[in-house]
Structure 1
Amino acid sequence: MKVALLLCFAVGTVLTQQPNPCQSPGQWEGREIRVDYSQKYEERRRLFYDETNKRTRTIAEVEFNSTRDFYDVLDIYSTNQRYSINMRTRQCNVSTIDRPFRYRGVHPNAKFEQLVSLGLTGFPGESIQLAIFSANETDEFYTGTVTYPACIPVTNIHITQKYGFEHSDYFDITAGISDPMAFVPPQECTKSRRNATSVNTPHIDMKAAILLCLAIGAVLGQIPTPCLSPKQWEGREIRVDYSQKYEERRRLFYDETNLRTHTMAEVELNSTREFYDVIMLFKERKMYSLNRRTQQCNVTDIEPDRSFHYRGVHPNARFEGIVSLGAAGFPGENIDVEIFSANETSEYYTGLVTSPGCIPVNNYHVSQKYGFEHSNYFDITIGITDPEAFVPPPNCKAPPS
């Protein structure tokens, strides 16, 4: 996983000189969607972040009328104390923090990796530039994206030997902390300082957690009809298969009209690992998989129960809300994105697209058979430039029927 995060793929825009790591705001608040791949756990929460004083507060976004447990957690690293309140029972647990401060912005020891474009370049309000940075500590690896050049957090990934693989996306960020009491331990935690055992974060059902009723930065007066994403486009995809603990970066040709895709793994320089060029033709129910190193091709039938993976808005999607990526008040540093979801018999989907252009930003697929997949999309252009994009390579021959 760690190696895959640093794949050397060409990007849509590259600086003539590599920039030094920018400085993310030291104090901000916003919303976070956090996935702990190792624990198979996902939550949406309000986040108050104070890097200057090394403290955070996360308040889970609670489902309406839910009887499940959600938590309000205050971490103060200067005293190494964690205050965790069960938002349903109001019971507080005070414990010792057993891990280092987690940077949400650019890590202090980060190095620049590349620039990419999120959304559709050339359409005002439909795209932003992102810078990718990474850092490698003794027992921790970090990679993250921030808006460029203002350095507003968009997403980051932390990999540690002890805590595994964690992924967070950030929305509706505002600089500074609006609530002066945000980092004051709640009354429930100061009435009694009895010894408490470590807090065990609840394992929330993944599918249910995606639909948490979080407050959103802007809401339409009426629920809109799902917008129509482009049917044919090409770009880059970072895909994570949580069930298989697998992540890859690849070039993607996407043709929803004819139900076909072509993915080309972005290959590491001098790597001896296996990377694949895969064409999936759903109308013909055929998959062509070419090993990029050995040039050996494998032709198989697409499983009867495997449906086409929609990258844009799903045909049966419903509108969930609108959030902002980046930070308001920074021209060119934020875009509005709409959230849609769809629930099929054996598949659940939720995705983000730019508003109003409907350009794919990311999506989640949950299916009974194939588990949980998450993809982010960058450097998208409309249409397919290569007329041979969906033609199987000459050394890929279908087996006789």
Structure 2
Amino acid sequence: MSESNLLTRREFVQRASVGAAALASAWSYAPSVGAVGANERINIGVIGTGGIAGSHGQALQAIKDEENCTIVAVCDIWTRRMNDYASMVKSKFGEEPKTYHDYRELLANPDIDKVVIATPEHWHERMTIDACRAGKAVYVEKPMTHNATEALRVLDVIKETGAIVQVGVQGMSDDCYEAARDIIKSGMLGQVMQAQIDYVRRYDADSGPWRTDAKTGDPKPEDLDWEAWLGPAWKRPWDARRYHDWRCYWDYSGGVSTDLFVHRITRLIKACDLKEPIRGVGIGGIYKWDDGREVPDTFEMNLEYPGGPTVYCLGTMGNNRGIEHCIRGYEATLVFEDPGFNVYSMKDDEKNKVLHTHTRSGGEDQKLHHKNHHAAMRSGDASLLKTPPELGFYGVLAVDLANESYKRKKYMTWDPGRRRVVAS
């Protein structure tokens, strides 16, 4: 690695300050695109009709009367699955949606106010950009994009268009993290030095995480457009495992970090008011399910932020015993625990005394997250969003550093001048 590719800590802080200022300016843009009147119906198009789209359908059905919203169009490259979803929409929403094989044709429909992008993550950047330029409000599933460079390109277009974009980290509709941020800013914790969190699961031994019964040699359904599904990803022959089990492969997913950690790290980024890390490291491996997958089944992420804190995320798919979710300061520790969080003193004369208790309002709920998006659309005020795109970017940046570290076996950092992850 040449010296030109390496950043000193001082260079990083100087460049990061410029990058942060640029991101802040992203919120000074043209009048909001995707805004609707207070009493107008919000017409929604769903792009991608797999499992996560099903949960969005349930959430939107539950709030359709209260929110005056409905699904009017669906899109998928697999006709059978698209038609099944369209039938569900007709049954639950009372009208038959239009169907599209090409998402660009859906975006060209002037009657659609909002799109839900529920595709594999390698499509998120292109579809979000195209939707913003088509004048739609966007709810894009997490992660916002496949990597940090893509996320910045999305931010550029949001600045250009004024589109109202909600990132699908629905845990941010839990108010604990804004409340924790206020506690930290009050000084109750003192200097914040470290934070930790996890996402742990225990999958069936025979299948493992994100595996279906699909086999590489299974024939492609005649009504499935494989080339369209690959889109911007590397071109390769049909592989049923890559289609059904896409979270297992780097071309389409970041695995544990982008599918799961992004939920967790976004919470700590919000609570601790974090931006670009100085450096990040990801370690782990395929220890339990060596079945042809590329992404690890066990993964850990460590991030260092300017002036602190360090942030640790634990992830294992073979053991669901987790660790305490907490933020450690010199004066006190904030522990996320039901029904919200508690702050415990670290002072010698009052060790473990509860200094503050917060009971959560809201929760990790897609219904609340869609309602929040609709409120921003109806008011034309993107500042209302619980997971705005710049927060989505910082989450993607964190997990991108960890993934690149794992793949390259190096510490990684963000070079805001070059807009890319580089070796630290």
TM over 0.5: no
Question: Larger % of strand: which?
Answer: 1
Higher relative contact order (CA 8 A, sep 6+): 2
TM-score by length of 1: 0.26
TM-score by length of 2: 0.25
